[in-house]
Structure 1
């Protein structure tokens, strides 16, 4: 089997998309049901890696039925247009608030370039447009037919981004959490928030985590990164980390700190919470996945709205 693929049981295969050449950054998941389904495409620059992994599992160009993304950020959905091109029969499923950006990615790419600058090309590449007639837009709940009575149900979870959904597989009880429960580092068991601007809202984010707990999934499948069996413990930790980051950023905001000083303070005060930061290779990956600057900027943006 291709070395980017890990069998997870229940006809689910994790695909390491090799984002920006790294291992263990972003996972896509292929559900090998009667109607094969890819959850998360990864970036545009990862699309050939993902295509080759799908092909090595025996799913040909005409066989993939559905591509579903939890949200439209480029590390999750940047490859949608390319994957849609490789698999011309696949429907593309996304929350209704993200659908138009897949059809015309111009605004999404422009705002990403403002954040990432020249690093955009190496980290993400350029999202290709997807034909509107191939897109299925989900409301706050919806379902994706996986064939033979199996389905993915979507659950609107907008704390991280207003176009975010979690997805539950009826056959396995797996919950695809996207970024709504943060970033998980399997080597150390660390969980860190993902709170980028402009959509972060603390109560909405905590409500999304509460919803995930109430769904009582058997397993969490993190886009960053991998399967987690300790469902309730990890979701509890996810909520705890959100509160820690918000409390510290609120303190910095209250003291009138600018973003750079706030980031330095929060980074310093949270360092001991994460074993991953003690290993150089993991620390680099952690910072790429859940950059302290992006997290603090997202919380500051929210604080500017709720307590200017």
Structure 2
């Protein structure tokens, strides 16, 4: 299938085609004795993911595990659908996100407030998953991939308090979720991902430092794709966070409202990122999902907290 890319080590990238567009959100299939799916994408992406897994020979009864780095809808919105499509799969998530997969009502209510009518087009509805099928991870944990291979999970909040990174013991791949930002493969840029309400600078930097200390061979970004330049990308991820926080502090000091602060940050970071071509819909959707406004709103929210 055109949305399935082999990455070596029995790992396959699946473009989940968020809102129908390519190159925005990736899931990853790890094949072997106990096939595993890392990230489901959205609810509306579930049929795309099912068909991609089928093209790899993973049928309804074959998938052993579904694991998500965190419960934001672009990563885990399809968990309920995928769990129904693959009834033998165990669903693995950090303990701070587990209850929201079993009962998504509060999460979906919050998402509706943020996205309004766009919620249905972009994400669809996260459906409940039987709580008996959910395994909640602590700050560390292990997922059996068969033949001695495993994913180890490492608590990495900062982007979200229910976020984990995952290391493949065979390949050295590190599934970074959103904790290292958003990687743009066409340009090599990495941008912050700091939405409210959970962003915390110290915790986010500590998560990036943890990722570096784990010594991965490769980073697998949910947005978007594999990166071999581990050290330089993690270094830039931390650098971008510090630059954006400094700019947010300046905007706050000048008592700018969010719209004016966004314009200021866009102007001052213009030379840091390649500009998308006019009409590039995928780039437009990446900007909408992790653009200046939501990222700056998350930083401002953190700056308003006494501990910041």
What TM-score do the two structures reach when normalised by structure 1? Answer: 0.98
Assess if the C-alpha contact under 8 Å between 1:277 and 1:286 holds in 2: no
Taking the aligned partners of 1:206 and 1:135, their CA distance within structure 2 comes to 29
Q: Tell which deviates more after alignment, 268-277 or 132-141.
A: 268-277
1:69 deviates by 0.1
1:286 deviates by 3.2
Assess if the C-alpha contact under 8 Å between 1:190 and 1:276 holds in 2: no
Taking the aligned partners of 1:163 and 1:86, their CA distance within structure 2 comes to 25
What residue number does 1:286 align with?
A: 286
Taking the aligned partners of 1:230 and 1:307, their CA distance within structure 2 comes to 34
1:285 deviates by 3.6
2:208 is equivalent to residue 209 of structure 1: yes
Question: Over residues 172-214 of structure 1, what are the superposed CA-to-partner deviations in whole Å (9 max), with x where a residue is unaligned?
Answer: 0000000000000101001000000000000000000000000
1:307 deviates by 7.0
What residue number does 1:260 align with?
A: 259
2:40 is equivalent to residue 41 of structure 1: yes
Q: Give secondary structure in 2 for the equivalent of 1:171.
A: coil
What residue number does 2:236 align with?
A: 237
Q: Give secondary structure in 1 for the equivalent of 2:304.
A: helix
What residue number does 2:161 align with?
A: 162
What residue number does 2:127 align with?
A: 128
Q: Where do 1:172-211 residues align within 5 Å? A: 172-211=171-210
Taking the aligned partners of 2:228 and 2:279, their CA distance within structure 1 comes to 26
1:263 deviates by 1.2
What residue number does 1:21 align with?
A: 20
Taking the aligned partners of 1:49 and 1:214, their CA distance within structure 2 comes to 35
Give unmatched runs, 5+ long, in structure 2. Answer: none
2:282 is equivalent to residue 306 of structure 1: no
What TM-score do the two structures reach when normalised by structure 2? Answer: 0.98
1:116 deviates by 0.7
Question: Over residues 217-246 of structure 1, what are the superposed CA-to-partner deviations in whole Å (9 max), with x where a residue is unaligned?
Answer: 000000000000000000000000001111
What residue number does 2:31 align with?
A: 32
Question: Which runs of at least 4 in structure 1 moved beyond 2 Å after TM superposition?
Answer: 276-280
1:278 deviates by 5.3
What residue number does 1:251 align with?
A: 250
Q: CA RMSD in A?
A: 1.1
Taking the aligned partners of 1:24 and 1:49, their CA distance within structure 2 comes to 14
Q: 1:87 to 1:30 in 2, by over 3 A?
A: same
Taking the aligned partners of 1:307 and 1:253, their CA distance within structure 2 comes to 16
Taking the aligned partners of 1:87 and 1:124, their CA distance within structure 2 comes to 20
Q: Give secondary structure in 2 for the equivalent of 1:306.
A: coil
Give unmatched runs, 5+ long, in structure 1. Answer: none
Taking the aligned partners of 2:69 and 2:305, their CA distance within structure 1 comes to 26
Question: Over residues 125-175 of structure 1, what are the superposed CA-to-partner deviations in whole Å (9 max), with x where a residue is unaligned?
Answer: 000000000000000000100011000000000010000000000000000
Q: 1:148 to 1:195 in 2, by over 3 A?
A: same
Taking the aligned partners of 1:203 and 1:290, their CA distance within structure 2 comes to 20
1:306 deviates by 3.4
Question: Over residues 19-39 of structure 1, what are the superposed CA-to-partner deviations in whole Å (9 max), with x where a residue is unaligned?
Answer: 001100000000002100000
Assess if the C-alpha contact under 8 Å between 1:224 and 1:289 holds in 2: no
1:289 deviates by 3.4
Count of residues paired in the alignment: 307
Taking the aligned partners of 1:109 and 1:79, their CA distance within structure 2 comes to 13
What residue number does 2:295 align with?
A: 295
1:276 deviates by 3.9
Q: 1:279 to 1:150 in 2, by over 3 A?
A: farther
Q: 1:74 to 1:99 in 2, by over 3 A?
A: same
Taking the aligned partners of 1:35 and 1:97, their CA distance within structure 2 comes to 25
1:290 deviates by 1.2
What residue number does 1:11 align with?
A: 10
